[in-house]
Structure 1
Amino acid sequence: MQIIDLSKTVIDNPKAPFFLRIKIKANKRFMTKVMLRVLGLPFRLMPKDFEGWADDSIRKLGVHATTHIDAPLHYGSTSEGQPAGGIEAMPLDRGIGPGIVLDMSHKAEGDPITVADIKAELARIDGEIKDGTITLIRTDRDKFHDEPDFWKRGTGMSAEATEWLIDQGSRVMGIDQWGWDVPFQFHIARSKAEKRDDLFWEAHRVGIRKEYWHMEQLTNLAALPPTGFTVYVLPLKLAGASASPARVIAILDGDT
Structure 2
Amino acid sequence: MKIIDLSKPIQYNKNDPWFMRVKIKHKPHKKAKWLIRIFGLPFKLFPKDFVGWADDTIQKMGVHATTHIDAPWHYAPTTNGKKSKTIDEVPLDWCFGEGIVVDMKHKEDFDPITIQDIESFLSAHELSLSPGMIVLIKTGRDKFNGTKDFHKIGTGMSAEATSWLIDQGIKVMGIDSWGWDLPLPHMVKKAKETNNSELFWEAHLVGKDKEYCHMEQLVNLDALPYSGFKVAVFPLKIVGASAAPARVVAMLE
Q: Normalising by the residue count of structure 1, what TM-score does the alignment of the two structures yield?
A: 0.96
* Partner residue, 1:184: 184
**In the alignment, structure 1 residue 225 sits paired with structure 2 residue 219:** no
Partners of 1:25 and 1:194 in 2: how far apart?
45
SS of match in other structure, 2:65? coil
Shift of 1:153: 1.3
State the superposition RMSD in angstroms: 1.0
* Partner residue, 1:150: 150
Q: Please list, as runs of the form range in 1=range in 2, the aligned pairs for 1:174-253 lying within 5 A after superposition.
A: 174-252=174-252
AA aligned opposite 1:218? L
Deviations 1:50-70 (A, max 9, x none): 110010111111100000000
* Partner residue, 2:115: 115
SS of match in other structure, 2:99? strand
AA aligned opposite 2:239? A
SS of match in other structure, 1:116? helix
Shift of 1:15: 2.8
Shift of 1:111: 0.5
Partners of 1:221 and 1:11 in 2: how far apart?
21
Partners of 1:127 and 1:193 in 2: how far apart?
39
Partners of 1:8 and 1:15 in 2: how far apart?
15
* Partner residue, 1:73: 73
Deviations 1:116-174 (A, max 9, x none): 10111111111111110111000010011121111111100000000000001111000
AA aligned opposite 2:156? G
Partners of 1:39 and 1:191 in 2: how far apart?
59
Shift of 1:214: 0.1
Q: Is the 8 A contact 1:72 1:79 kept in 2?
A: yes
SS of match in other structure, 1:7? coil
SS of match in other structure, 2:164? helix
Q: Is the 8 A contact 1:14 1:22 kept in 2?
A: no
Equivalent residue pairs, number: 253
Partners of 1:35 and 1:194 in 2: how far apart?
60
* Partner residue, 1:46: 46
AA aligned opposite 2:199? L
Q: Please list, as runs of the form range in 1=range in 2, the aligned pairs for 1:95-174 lying within 5 A after superposition.
A: 95-174=95-174
SS of match in other structure, 2:203? helix
Shift of 1:186: 2.2
Partners of 1:192 and 1:39 in 2: how far apart?
60
AA aligned opposite 2:134? I
Q: Which moved more, 1:155-164 or 1:191-200?
A: 191-200
Q: Which moved more, 1:159-168 or 1:25-34?
A: 25-34
* Partner residue, 1:87: 87
* Partner residue, 2:10: 10
Q: Is the 8 A contact 1:181 1:201 kept in 2?
A: yes
AA aligned opposite 2:155? T
Shift of 1:249: 0.5
Partners of 1:104 and 1:84 in 2: how far apart?
30
Shift of 1:188: 2.2
Partners of 2:45 and 2:187 in 1: how far apart?
65
Partners of 2:14 and 2:138 in 1: how far apart?
27
SS of match in other structure, 1:202? coil
Shift of 1:108: 0.6
AA aligned opposite 2:141? R
AA aligned opposite 1:101? V
Deviations 1:168-205 (A, max 9, x none): 11110000010000002222232233321111000000
- Structure 2: runs of 5 or more not aligned: none
Partners of 2:4 and 2:32 in 1: how far apart?
36
Partners of 1:100 and 1:28 in 2: how far apart?
42
SS of match in other structure, 1:106? coil
AA aligned opposite 1:18? W
AA aligned opposite 1:130? S
